[in-house]
Structure formats: C-alpha cells, structure tokens
C-alpha cells in the first residue's frame, strides 16, 4: 500500500515544484494560510485520483498484487499524508519568508485537516461511482447554485459561514473539539467503507 501512496507523489513530482512556487507567491501577497493549505491539498488529492482514470490505469492497478480494498485505502490514507505534506511546505515557506516563530496555530492545522477530510468524504465516493469529470460538472453546478443563493436568495449566508468559522477558531471548550473531531472521523471512515464497497463492485 505504501507503494501506491508513493506512486501518486512520483506522478506529480514535476507539479510539486509548481505547487511550491505558487504557494510562495500566495505567501508573498499574504493569502490566508488556511486557504492555501486547503486549496493545494484538494488539488493534489484530486489530481492524483484523475491520473488513475487515464489510459485504463485502473485495469493496470487491478492487475498488480493489491486488493481493491488496499487501492481505495491508499487514497484515504494518502490524502492525510498529502495534506500533511502541503501543510509542512506552507509552514516552511512562511517561516523562510516571514521568519515568524508561530507560523501555524494548532487550530489552523486542525481546521485544514478537518476541511480536507470532510471534502474528501464526499468527493471520493462520487469519483469511484462516476468519473472525475462528472465531479467537476457537479462542483461547477453546486458553485453556481451557491453564488445564486448568497447573492439573491440568502445574502446573509456568506456572513453566516464566516461567523461559524470564526466561532470555531475562538472556541475554548475541549468538548466541542472532541465532538467535531469525532463527527469528522465517523464521516471519513463511513466514506472510506462506502468507497471500498463501490470500487469492489466496479467492472474494468
């Protein structure tokens, strides 16, 4: 399974240099570290998945000595590893550019990882059931609906979402963090099991 995770890194080894360069650019213009961490984590993960759909790569994967459960599990475990890698790159870049002693608050790190886990919990089962292209169409449609809602139907939604994020960042109660963490873990594991079930039934 480690080789499957390492494969995704090798495939994107040239893109990683591009990721680092653009992350540094965003740090120069003072973009939020949370936004950078979440955005690049999602790009890395979805890009690695889209490569598996090219040139019948899934047929090749299934001819290797890995079970379908291991193939799916490598994506879920790999997603956390890739996110940690992006966080480290952003952390290091911010330190080298700004020389700040406290670069990432632990709440920032938890927020990035939590957002990625929630997003992946919905994205991967859809990708396994359909194709990444279908996901992009769905995301585009949902984004269009979101823009219509916040601009016309519920203009206060955007402010409400910002308030919720700000409240999370200022929470002090350990119990609230525990509930949020437990909820995300259950969602992630449930998505993981669902993806395995979907992938095991696919015919290539």
Domain ranges of the chain: 2-129+171-200
pLDDT at 17: 85
C-alpha span between 163 and 80 (Å, rounded) = 27
Count of Cβ atoms closer than 10 Å to residue 65 Cβ? 5
- Give the residue, 24 or 1, on which the prediction is more confident: 24
Judge whether residue 138 has pLDDT over 70. Answer: no
| Local confidence band at 192 (pLDDT 50, 70, 90 cut-offs) | very high
Q: Are 115 and 164 in contact (CB under 8 A)?
A: no
167-178 pLDDT, tens digit per residue, is 666 656 666 777
Place of tokens 């955005």: 39
| Local confidence band at 76 (pLDDT 50, 70, 90 cut-offs) | very high
| Local confidence band at 188 (pLDDT 50, 70, 90 cut-offs) | very high
Which of 5-14, 37-46, 98-107, 135-144 is the most confident on average? 37-46
């Amino acid at each position: 399974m480690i080789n499957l995770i390492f494969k995704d890194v090798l495939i994107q080894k040239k893109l990683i240099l591009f990721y680092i360069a653009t992350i540094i650019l965003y740090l120069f213009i003072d973009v939020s570290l949370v936004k950078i961490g979440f955005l690049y984590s999602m790009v890395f993960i979805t890009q690695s998945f889209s490569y598996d759909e090219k040139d019948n790569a899934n047929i090749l994967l299934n001819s290797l000595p890995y079970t379908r459960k291991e193939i799916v599990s490598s994506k879920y475990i790999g997603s956390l590893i890739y996110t940690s890698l992006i966080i480290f790159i952003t952390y290091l870049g911010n330190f080298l550019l700004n020389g700040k002693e406290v670069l990432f608050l632990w709440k920032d790190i938890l927020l990035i990882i939590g957002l990625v886990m929630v997003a992946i919990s919905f994205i991967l089962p859809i990708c396994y059931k359909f194709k990444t292209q279908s996901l992009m169409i769905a995301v585009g449609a949902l984004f269009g609906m979101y823009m219509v809602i916040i601009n016309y139907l519920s203009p206060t939604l955007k402010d409400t979402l910002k308030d919720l994020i700000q409240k999370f960042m200022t929470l002090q109660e350990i119990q609230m963090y525990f509930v949020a963490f437990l909820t995300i873990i259950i969602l992630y594991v449930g998505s993981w099991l669902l993806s395995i079930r979907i992938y095991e039934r696919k015919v290539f």
